[in-house]
Amino acid sequence: MRILLVGAGGVGDAIAKIAARRDFFELLVVSDYDESRAKRTVDWIREKHGPEVAARFATAQIDASDPDVVASVARAHEATHVMNAVEPKFVPSIFAGALAAGADYLDMAMSLSEPHPSEPYSKTGVKLGDDQFAQAGDWEQAGRLALVGIGVEPGLSDVFARYAADHLFSEIDELGTRDGANLVVTDDEGNEIFAPSFSIWTTIEECLNPPVIWEKGPGWFTTPPFSEPEVFDFPEGIGPVECVNVEHEEVLLMPRWIDAKRVTFKYGLGAEFINVLQTLHLLGLDSTTPLRVRSENGPVHVAPRDVVAAALPDPATIGPRMTGKTCAGVWVTGVGTDGRPREVYLYHVSDNEWTMREYDAQCVVWQTALNPVIALELLASGVWSGRGVLGPEAFEAEPFLELMARPVDDGGYGQAWGMEDRLA
């Protein structure tokens, strides 16, 4: 397996660092628009693991917005797989470039949505991933696989959902992805500051778009942002967190392969985060449409959302100032295999102290990066295989979870996952 990794930001950096401890690939090319970021990642791998491990890595400069460039870089390195680790606005170009190069493709966030033009808070317009699924026939005809949504959410959450459907439930009422954390970021004086742990560009897109819900019968429909608040009790000391509906790929993926009556995604944002996002929207600072701005060198055109992203700390750099844990998982309700009512939360917790110590990566990006590496290894071994445009639910979950939890000294990733029965 020869992998072209597009993006050396927080998640891309963590993907390479996790992969450095595995031996399933021949070459991993870390690419970025700023190649110095890719070189920094490979330098860390060389220092941590030595020149023999680093020899399986290379770097490249890439323009992810140009499918021809993506295809050219993939061909130059004879890539068999293109791993997309940049913002979802680049999905169409990387997706097209991978297919043109004859490579398989993986991503952690899908093609962007467009709200319904007249009824955005009740009807869907263009849904997340619609553009990719519309091209499934092209991928099938080419005999290539596009494995979409294989981060942590979507990704591990979808694997958990498939596991629950196959092994725990005879009938599912709801698949509810629930994400919460107790993370705190502080400044040099120890004061808590506003510093999102993931790309603010992506966070704005997810949180201010109309959330999507799926129900058997009506299918997909939308609600206003931050709707249906609920307090969800997260494990391993995180505790109760208020969660709200947010647009996310799980709701668009899970119903395609898993039989459930309802599918939702709720995120524990917190009142301050919601207030900031609402203020950005009120001021138009969430817009991706460039505005004409005066500068010392004359007028320039800048998208307000890009200004917000530039003004906030880079999520890849806040790890040393962050404490706490993050939890990703799926809350499943329905009828168990014994015919009795059942309620289960399947989850994985990532501790920032551990990920910083072991990988020099903050826990949110590290937890996201873990899952595509596991998926790549399963594809390399032939345990997972397919063609067309497929989500994680299309593959058996047990091999993924077994490899993930198996101890490192026995060839696994040493990442235990949890399962809590929530009914007394």
422 within a domain of the structure (yes/no): no
Give yes or no: residues 309 and 379 share one domain. Answer: no
pTM of the entire structure? 0.91
Rounded-to-integer distance, Cα 42 and Cα 36, Å: 10
Looking at residue 210, what DSSP letter applies? P
125 within a domain of the structure (yes/no): yes
Rounded-to-integer distance, Cα 97 and Cα 77, Å: 14
**Nearest alpha-carbon partner for 90 in 72, 110, 69, 74:** 110
Tell me whether strands 322-323 and 184-185 are parallel, antiparallel or unpaired: antiparallel
Give yes or no: residues 17 and 41 share one domain. Answer: yes
Position 101 scores a pLDDT of: 98
424 within a domain of the structure (yes/no): no
Chain segment 33-92, per-residue pLDDT in tens: 999 999 999 999 999 999 999 999 999 999 999 999 999 999 999 999 999 999 999 999
Chain segment 249-288, per-residue pLDDT in tens: 999 999 999 999 999 999 997 777 778 888 888 888 888 8
Report, as ranges of residue numbers, the positions in the chain whose pLDDT lies below 50. Answer: none
Number of folded domains that form the chain: 2
Q: Side-chain half-sphere of 82: how many Cα atoms within 13 Å?
A: 34
Give yes or no: residues 165 and 303 share one domain. Answer: yes
Question: 194 lies in which domain range?
Answer: 156-363
419 within a domain of the structure (yes/no): no
Position 258 scores a pLDDT of: 98
Give yes or no: residues 127 and 186 share one domain. Answer: no
Give yes or no: residues 169 and 137 share one domain. Answer: no
Opening angle at CA 196, ends 373 and 418, nearest 5: 45
**Nearest alpha-carbon partner for 405 in 396, 388, 389, 418:** 418
Position 419 scores a pLDDT of: 97
CATH number at residue 353: 3.30.360.10
CATH number at residue 124: 3.40.50.720
Chain segment 136-157, per-residue pLDDT in tens: 999 999 999 999 999 999 999 9
Q: What is the DSSP string of 260-319?
A: -SEEEEEE---HHHHHHHHHHHHHTTT--S-EEE--TTS-EEE-HHHHHHHHSPPGGG-G
421 within a domain of the structure (yes/no): no
99 within a domain of the structure (yes/no): yes
**Partners of 28 in the beta sheet?**
3, 57
Position 93 scores a pLDDT of: 98
